[in-house]
Structure 1
Amino acid sequence: MKNKFDLRIELVIIKQIMSDNTQLTPAKGYNTTRMVFSEPVSGSIPNSTPKIEFKRINITTKNEDGSFGELIIPTERLFSFGVSENTSQETGKVNGYTFPLCLWGRDGATEAEKVWTETFEKIVDKCIGHLIDNREEIDMFELTRSDLTKSKGGLNPLYWKKEKFTNEKGKTVLRPVPGTGPTLYTKLIFSKKTGKFLSQFFDQNDEPLNAMDLMGKYCYSQAAIKIESIFIGSKISLQVKLYESVVEPTSTGMKRLLARPKARSKVLEHKACSSATPMDDDDDDDYDDDTGSIGGSDDDDDVTDKPKEKVESVVKKKVVRKVRKVVRKP
């Protein structure tokens, strides 16, 4: 059994080497015992009055090759409502950006989509277990599992559209609408110092896209999702960030057939390779994360159903034949 001093030394070593060993981690077959949690790191929001303090537990993972890196999981091709703004309830000002992803298709979940969702929920459960086991270190001595698993205000950021349902005991409860899947509101990584997005967007031709051009634009996305940290402030939230996304508009024209250069997008590289490829770290010093939660809104009105594809109707012209009667003179 390792003592706390040995664990601290090990975490320091992991932190030093992780930037060179971050890889895409496939959801299928991922074992949450590979997850590594840092000690709680204390911080405060700059220029906050009164001073707002928080703690953060960073999350990394042990890779299949034995190295350590950030936990970044690629998704399937998913529907998105595009980039949207987050506004502060206190000030009404924009304090962040999200990129929601519908984890299941309109016709139900594929096997790969189910596996991704199940793996994500196992990761959340692992985080809950870590918080309960270390509640003294985060100064939350009365924290219980039920505090972290409740449908509103719990740790799991997945949003499920709910409906009222009368169970077998005659009690009216809420349940996920049958046939619908969860939505994950990933947070864009944004540098307040430079005013630039660190989350990267590419089109299918591997050309970079401007995140602001995707505001409210319905699209399909294959993304790399970063499970970054556990934020402990006024509430506890799991920080899930969009590392990168390959975007496809909902209605596309002709498919490109000519060969293209080697992909700059790590998602496109991963798609072309059988094994995960190393990814460069984003610079944590370049941005502040003072909002904590990225979970979807508790209000149903904040989430729109997937739009149905428009089908252009073809109007057939009715042909009327005129018959001229010819009268011959005798």
Structure 2
Amino acid sequence: MDTALVGTIVVIVTAMIFNYTNGFHDAANAIATSVSTRALTPRVALAMAAVGNLVGSFFGAKVAKTVGEGIVKLPSGSQSLVIVFAGLLGAIVWNLITWYYGLPASSSHSLIGGLVGATLAAVAMGVNGSVQWGGIVDKVVVPMVISPVIGLVLGYLVMIALMWLFRRYAPGKLNRGFRYAQTASAAAMSLGHGMQDAAKTMGIVVLALVVGGQQSDYSIPLWVYFLTAIVIAAGTFSGGWRVIRTLGRRIIHLDPPQGFAAETTASAVLYVAAIGFGAPISTTHTITAAIMGVGATKRLSAVRWGVAGNIVTAWVLTLPAAAIIALVVYLVAHLAAG
């Protein structure tokens, strides 16, 4: 069998392992609020999240294009496949570390950090390639800062609006109604997660196909859509209960109207970023910020800011940590091959 083809297959399999960890790591993004408010049972919520990820992936072509073409520029050849492989391993390791400690860090930024770290290591070793810093600033760093701020402010405003609109309703009746409404908002959140996170893996698979010489352009084959969607759906259905507990209970105890407001806010931000701008934003950052904004309407002290601070620390560390891990992986692989 052709060496380049074997290398491409290895990278695609590794991408699917990352995709699976992304599914169980970020399952909390779509279902934590619905589970914590008892709007949905855990199994029903996970099944809904899996289906939403499956469907949403078919609407994420712009995000896939950004990840495949806009982060790093690599020539065709086995060295580039090693770079992509090392980047994926960096992302997988950081995903597992943050999952173990129950921190809802960004799988998206793990992936981007891994790619950047591996590429920088390769360039330092004389490989022809480059990091597209302009694309990273425009499509990653700026959205990374803006999307949580929008989620926080919009979550606060949406919750204030709901409190005013339903101010005359009895709490019991209101909670029952919003438990039903959360079925729709959780489904919307799952769809947005598929648009973003499944699409990022699709971009990596296409990058591997191009640098591995298996195709000449960055178009997404139909089988890539199905394979990526099925794997992330399987990962989602396996659950990520450590992270679910953090998002659903440890930041703030949510009631159904608050859960609905947080999910509606986050899904709206995800849709605009994916369809409007093709920006690979973090679903984790967006829903966490929306939960904080919604919780702040009760009173600022209702949000456990210490837990929130730990989460923000994980956000800040994700890009450089995944980059360092990927850099080390590449250097080890390079030395082993040499």
TM-score, with length taken from structure 2? 0.28
**Counting strand residues as a fraction of each chain, which structure ranks higher?**
1
Higher relative contact order (CA 8 A, sep 6+): 2
Q: Which structure would you say has the larger Rg? A: 1
TM-score, with length taken from structure 1? 0.29
